[in-house]
Structures are given as C-alpha cells and as structure tokens.
A and B are shown apart, each in its own frame.
Chain A
Amino acid sequence: MTTYLLCFVLFLVGLFGVLTKRNIIKIAIGLIIMELSLFMFFALIGYVDNGIAPIIVEKTENTKFVDPLPQAIVLTAIVIGLATTAMLMAIAIRLYKKYNTFDIRKIANLKG
C-alpha cells in the first residue's frame, strides 16, 4: 500500500511543479514527473507477489504470472509521452528564440 501512496505523492509533486514554477522548462519537467508516476502506477497494478513473466511453456500450469496487460499499456503510454515531450520541447525552444527568456511572466501577451 505504501508504494501506491508514494506513487500518488510523486503525482502530486509533479502537479505542484506545474502549478508553481515560472520557468517553462521546469513546467515541462513537472509534467514528465506526473507522467512517470502514472507509468509506475500501471506497473504496480499488474504486479503479483512472486509472479513470473507470463510466458506459457510446458509445466507452468500452477505458477503465478504477473498481469501483462498494464505492461503493454505502459509501453504504449511511453510512446505517447515521447511525442508529448518532444512537442513541448520543440515549442519551448521556439519560444526561447522569440523571447530570449524562459520566464512565463515575461512571455505573457495573451490574456485568456
């Protein structure tokens, strides 16, 4: 149970970073921390005590397997996360070229 809680704490750490930091790179790092905590959460969901990798060969009728589906989900989510992070970084680099700063207080032309 502690591991689940730690995972959730890591999610909140990321959220705190996104909400309080003023540097666009640090905001992106906060988002990445949130994402990684979710990946760990998925890995924990599939975990079974003393389970082994679910490869079915002979004489494995009574052994315990870990759940393979969350692992497949995490792999897909990592690829999506790569795309998101690459997009965030590309925009951050372009923003730096236009404004010469990473501070969001100085990059505030739009008032949504």
Chain B
Amino acid sequence: MNSLIPLFIILPLATAILIMLFGRLAKVLQKALPSAVLLFLTGLSFYFIISWDSGIYIYEIGGWGPIDNIPISIYFVLDGLSILMLCIINLVGFLSGFYAISYIKRYTGENKFYALFCLMIAGMNGVVLSGDIFNLYVYLEIAAISSYALVAFEVEKEKLEASYKYQVLGCLSSFFILLNIGLLYWYTKSLNIADISRIMEASANKNLIIFIQILFIAGFGLKAALIPFHAWLPDAHSSAPSPISAMLSGVLIKAIGIYLIIRLFFNMFDITYEIALLITVIGTLSMVIGVLLAIGQWDMKRLLAYHSISQMGYVIIGIGIGMLILAKGGNKSWAALSIAGGLFHMTNHAVFKGLLFLNAGAVEYTTGTRNLKELGGLSGSMPVTSSTSLSASMAISGIPPFNGFFSKLIIIIAAAKAQYFLLTFLAISVSIITLASFLKLQKKTFYGKLKNWNLNKIKEAPFTMCFSMIVLAILCIGLSLLIIPGIRENIMIHVVYTLINKSNYLLILSEL
C-alpha cells in the first residue's frame, strides 16, 4: 500500500505533460486518457478505503530516513481523512472529466483544457497527501494556478474579470500562508507537520502561535471562501465552464481550504477555546449570509455558487462545535459526532453540488442560457437532467431519504447536545430557506410554462453528460448508507478518531 501512494500525483502530472506534448496529434488520446487515469485512481482510492486498517501509511520521497530522530525528507502521509478526500477528489474528477468529453467540444484548445484539468487534480491529490508544510504549499499553488487559468478558459469579458479578481485574492491568501510557513520554520526549525506539532508542545510562545493561527484562518478562509472572504467565489464559480465549476465548488474549496483548516488545527496546533469560537462564528456567518445572498439570484450558476458558501458554513460549524467541546473538555463522543457530521456533509456536498453544476451545464448546453427568467418547462424534453437535478435539490435541502438530510441531522443533533441552541435554530432555518430557494430553481427551470423555445432543438444532453449525472444522482441516495452502523464504524469513526487524538498523528514520527 505504501508504494502505491505516489501514483496519485505522478499519474495526473504525467497525463498533463503527455497531453500538452502529443494531444494535438492524437485527438482520441487527449479525450480518453484523463478519464482512464482518473477512473484508475478512483478505483485505487476505493481499494484504499476498503482495505484500510485504521493505520497511518507513510511514503518517504527519495528514501531519506530521519537523522537523530529529526525527519529531513519529504513525506506523503496517508491517514483516514486523506483517504476520504482522495475518494472525493478522484471520483468527482473522473465524472467531470467524462462529462467534459461532450461539453468541451465547442471550445478551441481542448488539449489545454485537459492538461490544466489533470494538473489541478494532481495539485489537490498532493495537498491531501503531503505531510510537509512547504510541500503542501507547492501543491496548493499548482492547484490554484491551474484553476485561475481554467476560470478564464472561455476568454470573454466577464470570465477574464472574474479570473483576475480570483487571482488577486488567491495570491493574497497564498502570501499569508507562505508568511506563516516562514514564521513556523523560524520558530521550530522544522517543516514536517508532526514534528512542528511535537516541538510546539514542548515550548509554546503563545502570542506568536495565536498570530500564526489567525493568519492561517485568513489564508485558508480566502481559499475556502468563508463569509468575510467570499467576494471572489460567486464570480469565479459561475464563470468557469460547467465541469470546472463542479470541480471548483465540489472539490477545490474543500481540498485546499476546509481540509487544510481541519488538518492543521487538529493535528498541528493545540485546540484553544478562542480559536474554536472564531471558527464557529465564521462558519455561522457563512451559513446564514450565504443563503440570504442566494435568494435573490436569477443566474442559475450564481445561485448555486452562493449555496456553496452556505453549505461550507455547515461543514465549518460541525468542525467548530467539535473543537469547542474538545477545548472545554466536554464529552468526547459528542465532539466526535459533531466532527463526523461535518466531514459527512463535506462528502455529500461534493456529490450534490457537483451534480447541480453539471445539470446547470446541461441546461446551458441545450438552451444556451442560464437565466432563470428565460427558462421553464424543460422537464418533458430533458428527463434525465430534470430528474437528476430534482434528486440533487432534495439532497441539498435535506429531504429524508437523501444524504444531505442525514448529515444535517447529525450536525443539528450535535449542536443541540452541546447546548448551542441558537446555532441549532439557525441551522434548521437555513435548511428551510435552502429548500425554498431550490424549489424556485426547479420550478423556473424544469416545470411551469414552456417558454417559446424551438422544441425540435431541445433534446436530452449527450451520453457522457447523462452518464455522469446519473452516477452522481445514484450516489446522492447511496451515500446515505454511510449512516448505517456497520459502515459508519468502519469509515467515519476511524477518520474522526485519528483527528481528535492528536497523538495518533504524531505516531508517524516513531514509525519512520
């Protein structure tokens, strides 16, 4: 298992370079290769999750062992949270790549699209595997820079503007993160996450650590578009081509924003009450304000983008309540429940938000517009898009048999058990407003009166697009199986216990 870890980075990187060099010569190669590679990686990550025995696996790049117990090499660390993230990234990546085969035909420069797409996947896989804080920064920049280019892929006025805005804010957040890496190296003389954690436990300069933590929240908050830092997200996510919107909203903001907040604040820093409170407040703000901003939107993709902010708020309050309980020394099992709810909602959000963006893409592909005021009555002529979109809408607004219901329920129960009744109330009411907003989306797009379209022109999307949408719609129901006791203990609980027991993560130092 250890020797398979680097494949997650090598394969997409090699694919990107191959497509850049030979993509124009072999048109079939550039279309089939990314999907094939990503399918293989999806299979590999599911093999990991099935055969995982709750241990932590390490790969040393170049085989440099530690000297005097100080790790000098770069490590890839594979633990529960990394495996979960790898599954999400590669699955949504494969489905978006397969969807793109039909969707991206009308653009020029297809080979550049696929090359950038593979680069982005390689960067995200690197971020979730890296156990070294500077190596993590390098992969984060690979993913971010390729996403800047992909947002501007259509090269029109609005897309360029959105991409520029995204780049300026993205660069700022990268500099905050780089400054933090410098400060951490200055203070601890180490770049390995576990090693930094061990050194900071021994000698803590409290003021410096609080400064670093707040800068990290600003940096990763900008990448994850939490509410005070959200200005770029609706523009960037609605300007990108639809498969890329699905990747950005479904995966990128989690892999380089939320995942890193979770990883660093649980495994590197000690949890303090003030920071936990700050994270919970930011999460609550994004949950409430995101959904309020989404109500008035008439552009389909902008509406979905604002809902991404709101749903990320749910994930963050799940994590934040867990941190608050742990910091106050409360009941550990409620903290674990709350964190599990957050992680479960993150997994679910990748599936249903990816699906909703792919639906928006299919509607735009056939009708040429995504303005809700011009659409209507498409359910008859586009049955697959309509039904998959309905299931995703029910999942995001929390209707019982779908996965979104269970994850929201877990977060709400945990909030009530921890006696944060205001949060409980807000989480329930935001869920109701989300339902209202998606009823509007469904009614204006797929039901209601048929507008004066040329009916012969409107037909169902091509096969590859339908395939991706159907698989994701099945997953919308299928993921609720994760709540069943046997499966729950195998996956979610292990992931959470590696997170909240920091000493588990520090074990990698002794295994070297």
- Contact flags A74-101 to B (C-beta < 8 A → 1, else 0): 0011001001100110011011001100
State A24–B168 Cα separation when bound (angstroms).
10
State A107–B168 Cα separation when bound (angstroms).
15
Interface assignment of B152: CB less than 8 Å from any CB of chain A:
yes
Q: Nearest-CB distance from A47 to chain B (Å)?
A: 11
* Cross-chain contact of B172 among A18, A45, A88, A94 (Cβ < 8 A): A18
Instruction: Tell me whether A110 and B235 are in contact (CB under 8 A).
Output: yes
Instruction: Tell me whether B164 and A92 are in contact (CB under 8 A).
Output: yes
State A43–B435 Cα separation when bound (angstroms).
53
State A95–B181 Cα separation when bound (angstroms).
33
Instruction: Tell me whether B138 and A109 are in contact (CB under 8 A).
Output: no
Instruction: Tell me whether B232 and A112 are in contact (CB under 8 A).
Output: yes
State A88–B164 Cα separation when bound (angstroms).
7
Interface assignment of B149: CB less than 8 Å from any CB of chain A:
yes
- Contact flags A44-58 to B (C-beta < 8 A → 1, else 0): 010000000000000
The answer to whether A18 and B141 touch (CB under 8 A), given A94-B152, A94-B155, A109-B158, is: no
State A69–B190 Cα separation when bound (angstroms).
10
Contacts of B138 in A (CB 8 A): 76, 80
The answer to whether A112 and B233 touch (CB under 8 A), given A18-B168, A73-B134, A88-B171, is: yes
Contacts of A107 in B (CB 8 A): 161
State A98–B157 Cα separation when bound (angstroms).
6
Interface assignment of B492: CB less than 8 Å from any CB of chain A:
no
Interface assignment of B443: CB less than 8 Å from any CB of chain A:
no
If over half of A's interface residues share one DSSP class (helix, strand or loop), that class is named, otherwise mixed; here it is: helix
Give the contact-size bracket for chain A: 20 to 34
State A11–B171 Cα separation when bound (angstroms).
13
Instruction: Tell me whether A35 and B152 are in contact (CB under 8 A).
Output: no
State A80–B175 Cα separation when bound (angstroms).
11
Instruction: Tell me whether B162 and A110 are in contact (CB under 8 A).
Output: yes
State A94–B163 Cα separation when bound (angstroms).
11
State A91–B165 Cα separation when bound (angstroms).
10
Q: Nearest-CB distance from B274 to chain A (Å)?
A: 24
Contacts of B162 in A (CB 8 A): 110
- Contact flags B399-418 to A (C-beta < 8 A → 1, else 0): 00000000000000000000
State A35–B239 Cα separation when bound (angstroms).
28
Interface assignment of B231: CB less than 8 Å from any CB of chain A:
yes
The answer to whether A95 and B164 touch (CB under 8 A), given A83-B141, A84-B141, is: yes
Instruction: Tell me whether B178 and A99 are in contact (CB under 8 A).
Output: no
Instruction: Tell me whether B168 and A27 are in contact (CB under 8 A).
Output: yes
- Contact flags B145-183 to A (C-beta < 8 A → 1, else 0): 100110010011110111111011001101100110110
Residue of A at shortest CB range from B238? A110
Instruction: Tell me whether A109 and B160 are in contact (CB under 8 A).
Output: no
Contacts of A110 in B (CB 8 A): 158, 161-162, 165, 235, 239
Instruction: Tell me whether A80 and B141 are in contact (CB under 8 A).
Output: yes
Instruction: Tell me whether B179 and A91 are in contact (CB under 8 A).
Output: no
Instruction: Tell me whether A24 and B235 are in contact (CB under 8 A).
Output: no
Residue of A at shortest CB range from B186? A45
Interface assignment of A42: CB less than 8 Å from any CB of chain B:
yes
Interface assignment of B234: CB less than 8 Å from any CB of chain A:
yes
State A34–B219 Cα separation when bound (angstroms).
15
State A95–B158 Cα separation when bound (angstroms).
9
- Contact flags B37-55 to A (C-beta < 8 A → 1, else 0): 0000000000000000000
Q: Nearest-CB distance from A21 to chain B (Å)?
A: 11
Instruction: Tell me whether B167 and A112 are in contact (CB under 8 A).
Output: no
Contacts of B148 in A (CB 8 A): 87, 91
State A31–B141 Cα separation when bound (angstroms).
15
State A45–B179 Cα separation when bound (angstroms).
12
- Contact flags B205-247 to A (C-beta < 8 A → 1, else 0): 0000000000000000000000000111111000100000000
State A54–B175 Cα separation when bound (angstroms).
28
Instruction: Tell me whether A109 and B178 are in contact (CB under 8 A).
Output: no
Contacts of A109 in B (CB 8 A): 157-158, 161
State A84–B164 Cα separation when bound (angstroms).
11
Interface assignment of A38: CB less than 8 Å from any CB of chain B:
yes
Instruction: Tell me whether B158 and A38 are in contact (CB under 8 A).
Output: no
The answer to whether A31 and B233 touch (CB under 8 A), given A84-B141, A91-B160, A94-B155, is: no
Instruction: Tell me whether A88 and B161 are in contact (CB under 8 A).
Output: no
State A38–B156 Cα separation when bound (angstroms).
34
State A76–B182 Cα separation when bound (angstroms).
13
State A95–B159 Cα separation when bound (angstroms).
10
Instruction: Tell me whether A77 and B168 are in contact (CB under 8 A).
Output: no
Q: Nearest-CB distance from B292 to chain A (Å)?
A: 15
Interface assignment of B185: CB less than 8 Å from any CB of chain A:
yes
State A76–B160 Cα separation when bound (angstroms).
28
State A87–B148 Cα separation when bound (angstroms).
8
* Cross-chain contact of B178 among A77, A88, A95 (Cβ < 8 A): A77
20 contacts between A and B (CB under 8 A): A31-B168, A34-B175, A38-B178, A42-B182, A45-B185, A73-B134, A76-B134, A76-B138, A80-B138, A83-B141, A87-B145, A87-B148, A87-B149, A88-B171, A92-B164, A95-B160, A98-B157, A107-B161, A110-B235, A112-B233
Chain A residues packing against B (C-beta within 8 Å)? 11, 15, 18, 24, 27, 31, 34-35, 38, 41-42, 45, 69-70, 73, 76-77, 80, 83-84, 87-88, 91-92, 94-95, 98-99, 107-110, 112
Question: A34-B172, A98-B160, A110-B239 provided; 18 other pairs, C-beta below 8 A?
Answer: A11-B179, A18-B168, A18-B172, A27-B168, A31-B168, A41-B179, A45-B182, A69-B191, A77-B178, A84-B141, A87-B148, A91-B167, A94-B160, A98-B156, A108-B161, A112-B165, A112-B232, A112-B234
A-B interface, 3 closest residue pairs, ranked by CB to CB distance from nearest: A112-B231, A110-B235, A112-B235
